[in-house]
Amino acid sequence: MRFILLSRAYCHLCDEMEAALRPLIGAAPLDVLDVDAPAHAALETRYGDAVPVLFADAIAPERELCRYRLDADRVNAHLAGAREIR
């Protein structure tokens, strides 16, 4: 299980989401992608200022867990579902 957070360096909401998320996910990998980085130009085009966005496993509409503010219930539900699969 992996989480992907779309973020910006100057975004206080991004910082808040990441800080609140880390204790919830424990050792699960978290990839933080800065949409302003040249390597992520397509993400910047697609999401613009609509950050932070948290995805489960892959950047895809059906994998979006929350946007702007952390939805702890959705993250916990995703974590619980992943534990049941194991």
Number of domains composing the chain: 1
For each of the chain's 86 residues, which pLDDT tens digit applies? Answer: 889 999 998 999 999 999 999 999 999 999 999 999 999 999 999 998 999 999 999 999 999 999 999 999 999 999 988 655 44
Provide the domain limits for residue 38. Answer: 3-85
CATH number at residue 10: 3.40.30.10
pTM of the model: 0.91
DSSP 42-84: HHHHHHTT---EEEESSSSGGGEEEESS--HHHHHHHHHHHHH
